[in-house]
Amino acid sequence: MGRLIHRKIKVQQLTPPVNYTTATDGAATYIDTQGFEEMLIVADLGTFSASVTLNLDIQHSDASGSGYATVPAPAVTTINPRKVSLANTLANTSPVAYLDLSGVKRYVKAVDAISANSALYGLTAILFGPESGPTDQTFQADAT
């Protein structure tokens, strides 16, 4: 594949950055991936209580509001994670998970859960696609 100089991007907040207590998928925000090829999920981690982990599971569906299932495990899990576990030792960092959207259904969401106590974090998705790809997105920016 040649260099993709002209790309469109979409940025969407999946989980607002606040201090969460034990909860699972509190925001339940999905993202429409139509017209995009790749997605980064940025976890902006603040302070975690001792022994707390944030588990991130990627799910997808053909419909926006229902039918979500876990994305199949990729062949190379260190590059394209299906599940990510972030420990309190990563406090005040911004780890990134990469997802190749080929073979993934149209709607994707991150199901986040913390193990106990509290964790200050937020999740943001950044999608990339070809400039000429079909999309019905409301926000796009030229990456050049």
pLDDT in tens, 85-101: 777 778 888 888 888 88
Query: Is residue 78 predicted with pLDDT exceeding 90?
Result: no
Q: Structural domain boundaries of the chain?
A: 7-131
Task: Give the pLDDT score at 55.
Answer: 82
Closest CA to 60 of 79, 33, 81: 33
pLDDT of residue 26: 63
Task: Give the DSSP per-residue string, 83-104.
Answer: EEEEEGGGTT---EEEEE-TT-
The encoded tokens of residue 76 equal: 């190379």
For domain 7-131, which architecture applies?
Answer: Sandwich (2.60)
Q: What is the pTM assigned to this prediction?
A: 0.77
C-alpha to C-alpha distance for 68 and 9, rounded to whole angstroms: 24
Question: CA 26, 124, 113, 92 torsion: positive or negative?
Answer: negative
Residue with tokens 């969460």: 20
Q: Per-residue pLDDT tens for 5-61?
A: 567 899 999 888 888 886 766 667 899 999 999 998 888 988 887 788 888 888 899
pLDDT at residue 141 greater than cutoff 50: no
